[in-house]
A and B are shown apart, each in its own frame.
Chain A
């Protein structure tokens, strides 16, 4: 009965600039809506992809594939989407980007070089050479450890740190509570600390 009531309840029209309205326009063939959807999320998606890419070109390629997959999936899924809430395009897009990035890193283990290549220009030139080298090694270890984190911890950490989403958004994207997202983030950081500590002890 409640399902029937839900089905009969009129879905409120989405605001014209909402993801849902843009998706509907995109499915109808509106190129401007397509561009707006990509522009809206290109920065966080690109930031998520950078974590797993060796070069900026790789990250851009990953971001492009993430958009293509998410848009194709959204077009298919919207045909059968009967829930009262709007279609969660952003959550799909971010998760697709993370999964594509992880697969990319797994296929080539390219992130190890990426970290060193990208980081060289950003280090404070005032540091002594050996201090800079030590720091670069530590960064390489931690960044490698981020890619190797358990899936949920990695998702929470990269959405918060790379995509710069607040915890409330991270929680919405992953379908968990905000408190759960914060606790998972805390576990992820503790795991990174212990991994780095163990590696330092070994070296």
Chain B
């Protein structure tokens, strides 16, 4: 390719492709082509290749079918939208189902866990019936019992073990003298 046609490549491309040029541009280019056989050959060569590259013109049948394209595209779009909406609904349903399953699982799992921990707590004394653990157990039981007695409505019941003013104090006059020393004698 000559330097001239390289420099004028955009104009030659426009001319060879049939681009509509302004009157001034066209006149300028035609004047140049009249004086430059290299550029003239270049334009003719490009035009012949483009002629081979061009597709045949659209047939009547194609034009007729093309008239129905908007309706076909709209029908396809609406079908696509229906599918998209049903997928969205399915996804939403899936999410709701997942959330419901999660809530249900929490409702089942939390009480079960609490029950398991209670069972463990109940099972602790028998499980701790080892010699080492039992050493501290009586002290704990005593403290628990004392706290339970203190919590009774009337307060702790006074039981006198060594006096004679309690309700269950030993009275020798009331008690049968079956096993007295005198009777035996």
Q: Evaluate whether A189 and B50 lie within 8 angstroms (CB atoms) in the complex, with A56-B65, A122-B56, A122-B57 already known.
A: yes
Q: Is A38 an interface residue (CB 8 A)?
A: yes
Inter-subunit contact A139/B13 (CB<8 Å): no
Shortest Cβ distance from A139 into B: residue: B52
Within 8 Å CB of B13, what residues of A? 167, 182-183, 185-186, 189
Q: How far is A157 from B58 in the complex, measured between Cα atoms in Å? A: 18
Which residue of chain A has the shortest Cβ distance to B72 in the bound complex?
Answer: A64
| Alpha-carbon gap, A114 to B125, bound state (A) | 90
Q: Interface size (A, Cβ < 8 Å)?
A: 48
Contact flag A167-B62 (CB < 8 Å), given A64-B72, A143-B55: no
Which segment of A3-11, A44-52, A77-85, A102-110 sits at the interface?
A: A44-52
Task: Return the contact of B12 from the options A46, A50, A143, A186 (Cβ within 8 A).
Answer: A186
Q: Are A71 and B55 in contact (CB under 8 A)?
A: no
Chain A residue nearest to B71 in the complex (CB) = A35
The residue in chain A whose Cβ has the minimal distance to the Cβ of B77 is: A68
Chain A residues with Cβ below 8 Å from B59 are 56, 121
Of A68, A121, A189, the residue contacting B76 (CB under 8 A) is: A68
| A118 to B9 Cα, complex, angstroms | 32
**Cβ of B152: which chain A residues have Cβ within 8 Å of it?**
none
The answer to whether B58 touches A35, judged by C-beta atoms less than 8 angstroms apart, is: no
Q: Assess the B56–A119 pair: CB atoms within 8 A.
A: yes
Select which of A43, A141, A162 is within 8 A of B66 by beta carbon.
A43
Q: With a CB–CB cut-off of 8 A, which chain A residues contact B80?
A: 68, 72
Residue pairs across A and B with CB atoms within 8 Å: the count is 110
A31-B74 contact given A121-B56, A179-B10, A189-B16, CB 8 Å threshold = yes
A142 and B74 in contact (CB under 8 A), knowing A166-B19, A183-B13?
A: no
B54 close to chain A: CB less than 8 A: yes
Tell me, in angstroms, the Cα distance from A71 to B16 when the chains sit together.
Answer: 35
Task: Report the bound CA distance from A64 to B13 in whole Å.
Answer: 32
A196 to B69, CA, bound (A): 36
- A34 contact from B9, B49, B77, Cβ within 8 A: B77
Question: When A183-B9, A189-B13, A190-B1 are in contact, do A67 and B73 touch as well, CB less than 8 Å?
Answer: yes
Q: Point out the residues of chain B lying under 8 angstroms from A143, CB to CB.
A: 52-53, 55
Cα-based distance from A54 to B20 in the complex (angstroms): 31
> By CB atoms of chain A within 10 A, which of B53, B54, B56, B71 has the most?
B53
Q: How far is the CA of A44 from the CA of B57 in the complex (A)?
A: 13
Chain A minimum-CB-distance residue to B11: A182
> Contacts A39-B70, A64-B73, A68-B73 hold; do A189 and B58 have CB atoms under 8 A apart?
no
CB proximity to B under 8 Å, residues A1-58: 31, 34-35, 38-39, 42-43, 46-47, 50-51, 56
A133 interface residue (CB < 8 Å to B): no
Residues of A within 8 A of B134 (CB): none
Q: Does B96 contact A (CB under 8 A)?
A: no
Taken together as a complex, chains A and B put the C-alpha atoms of A64 and B74 apart, in Å, by 9
Which residue in chain B gives the minimum CB-CB distance to A145?
B53
Q: Which residue of B lies closest to A63 (CB)?
A: B69
User: Which residue numbers of B lie inside 8 Å of A, CB to CB?
Assistant: 1, 9-14, 16-17, 19-20, 45-46, 49-50, 52-59, 61-62, 65-66, 69-74, 76-77, 80
Contacts A142-B53, A183-B13 aside, 13 further interface pairs with beta carbons under 8 A come to A31-B74, A46-B58, A64-B69, A71-B77, A139-B52, A141-B52, A145-B53, A160-B19, A161-B54, A162-B55, A183-B10, A189-B16, A190-B46
